[in-house]
C-alpha cells in the first residue's frame, strides 16, 4: 500500500505539477476544454491510464469542464499514486 | 428554449423514470456498475446521446459509481430536455 506523503514530499510534488492544489485532503485540478466532446475524450484517455494503474480519480464534468480530485482511499491521504496520476493527467491535458 | 416543467408535469415525469428524484432543482440519480470500466462505458455512451441532443449532464464518477444531475441552464429549471435525457440514461443503464 502507498504511504501518505510527508508535507515536504507533498510540497515537492506540487512544485512538479501544473495547476494542482490541495483541497480537502485531495490533489485538485480544474481543467477546461474546447467543448464537451474534448472533455469526454480527455476523461476516456485518463480512464484507461487509471484502470491500468488500479488507481481511480474522483472527478466530475459539466460541459467543457472537468474537475479532478485525487487521493488514496486505502491510505486516507495523498500518496505517490496520486502524484503519478496527476502527472499523467498533466501530460494528456497539455 | 425549453420551458420549466410545471409541478404536475414533473410529477408525471418522475413516475415514468426509474430511480430519479429532484435534488437541489435537478433530476438526480445515482448509478452503480460492476466496476470502473463499466461506469466509463456508460458515460461514453451517454456522452454521444447528450452531444447529439445538445443537452449535457452534470455528472461525477468515483470508481463504479456515477451520479447524474440534470437541469436546463437556460431555463434555470428542469425541462422536458432533462426528462428526455433521463429516459435515455434509464434505457442504457437498464
Tens digits of per-residue pLDDT, A9-36?
999 999 999 899 999 999 999 999 999 9
Contacts of B43 in chain A (CB under 8 A): 40, 43
Q: Is the pLDDT of residue A94 over 90?
A: no
Residues 6+ apart with CB under 8 A from A57: A46, A50, A68, A69, A70, A85, A89, B61, B62
Residue-wise pLDDT for A56-76, tens only, equals: 999 999 999 999 999 999 999
Of A36, A51, A57, the CB nearest to B37: A51
Q: How far is B70 from chain A (nearest CA, A)?
A: 10
Residue-wise pLDDT for A35-60, tens only, equals: 999 999 999 999 999 999 999 999 99
- B79: cell is 425541462
Contacts of A62 in chain B (CB under 8 A): 56-59
Give dist(CA B12, CA B15) in Å, integer: 5
Of B37, B56, B62, the CB nearest to A36: B56
Residue B1: per-residue pLDDT: 67
Of A44, A60, A63, the CB nearest to B44: A44
Residue B65 in contact with partner chain A when CB distance is under 8 A: no
Task: Let me know how many helices (H) and strands (E) chain A has, helices first.
Answer: 3, 4
Q: Characterize the bridge pairing of strands A21-23 and B58-62.
A: unpaired
Contacts of A51 in chain B (CB under 8 A): 36-37
Instruction: Give the number of beta-carbon pairs within 8 Å between A and B.
Output: 43
Q: Is the pLDDT of residue A1 over 70?
A: no
Amino acid at each position: 500500500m502507498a504511504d501518505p506523503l510527508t508535507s515536504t514530499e507533498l510540497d515537492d510534488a506540487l512544485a512538479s505539477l501544473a495547476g494542482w492544489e490541495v483541497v480537502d485532503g485531495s490533489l485538485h485540478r480544474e481543467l477546461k476544454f474546447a467543448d464537451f466532446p474534448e472533455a469526454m475524450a480527455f476523461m476516456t484517455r485518463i480512464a484507461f491510464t487509471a484502470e491500468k494503474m488500479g488507481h481511480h480519480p474522483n472527478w466530475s464534468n459539466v460541459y467543457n469542464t472537468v474537475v479532478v480530485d485525487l487521493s488514496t482511499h486505502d491510505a486516507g491521504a495523498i500518496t505517490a499514486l496520486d502524484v503519478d496520476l496527476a502527472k499523467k493527467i498533466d501530460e494528456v491535458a497539455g
